[in-house]
Amino acid sequence: MRPDAEPDDDSIVLTPDQASQVDHFRDELRLCETDKKKYDLCVQKRDELLDRHTGLQIFIAACEHVMSIECSEYSRRKQTKDRDSTQPLPTSKEDDAAQWDRFLGVATDGLKIKSKCLSALKEVRRPVKASVNPIEQADLESLRAWSREDPIPYKTLAPEDLPDGFGFDKFGLMVRKEYAAVLPEPDNTGTANPDRS
């Protein structure tokens, strides 16, 4: 808040939780002792926000796909809009149409990201060798090719995100559990925790 008690723009447009997160981030930056530490924190926040944004785009694309399949009225209106976009709409319908256009734009972007992620995953999907060194030459060639293309969205995995029977080696690579330095923590039943949220 500004000293003259006028609300700043963020307090008007952000939810209370978002405003609190911004304040917390500002406080974290102010606690950094060097510009390098501040910059590192900025990079971390950027990556976190972009990961959340990408996840939301993919989620919207998935919901739009469900709408297209499960709601014939939605599908009909979507197809009619595409064919009949020259007719002017009343103001309230213009607002609704603008919202749908925005939604479809985000869904389209999410579908592109999802396709890129899936094609990359399908390229590398193969069984992980039961070996201390599960990397093959083809893996390195794929990595080199990807680094030249558009970056593929990714997220850092925790041991709990891995399939059963896998962990990380000392370099952070996914390996079979018998070669792992880090395994998922067991739940209270003594097995790996199946809840990977």
> pTM (2 decimals)?
0.55
For the segment 128-143, the average pLDDT, to the nearest whole number, is 76
Same domain, 65 and 106: yes
Higher pLDDT, 31 or 14: 31
The encoded tokens of residue 177 equal: 């559990």
Going by C-beta distance under 8 Å and a sequence separation of 6 or more, which residues neighbour residue 70? Answer: none
Distance CA 10, CA 17 (A): 12
Boundaries of domain holding 98: 32-125
Distance CA 23, CA 138 (A): 46
DSSP secondary structure letter of residue 5: S
**pLDDT in the model for residue 34:** 96
**pLDDT in the model for residue 122:** 62
Residue 58 maps to a domain: yes
Same domain, 74 and 36: yes
**pLDDT in the model for residue 194:** 43
Residue 11 maps to a domain: no
**Which of 3-12, 94-103, 104-113, 176-185 is predicted with the least confidence, judged by mean pLDDT?**
3-12
Mean pLDDT comparison of 26-30, 57-61, 131-135, highest-scoring range: 26-30
Residue 47 maps to a domain: yes
What's the number of domains the chain is made of? 2
Other C-beta atoms closer than 10 Å to the C-beta of 92 total 8
Tell whether the model's pLDDT for residue 65 goes beyond 80: yes
Q: How confident is residue 46, by pLDDT bands cut at 50, 70 and 90?
A: very high
For the segment 75-93, the average pLDDT, to the nearest whole number, is 66
Same domain, 57 and 119: yes
Distance CA 97, CA 69 (A): 20
Tell whether the model's pLDDT for residue 147 goes beyond 70: no
Residue 14 maps to a domain: no
Same domain, 135 and 52: no
C-beta of residue 169 within 8 angstroms of C-beta of residue 175: yes
Same domain, 70 and 137: no
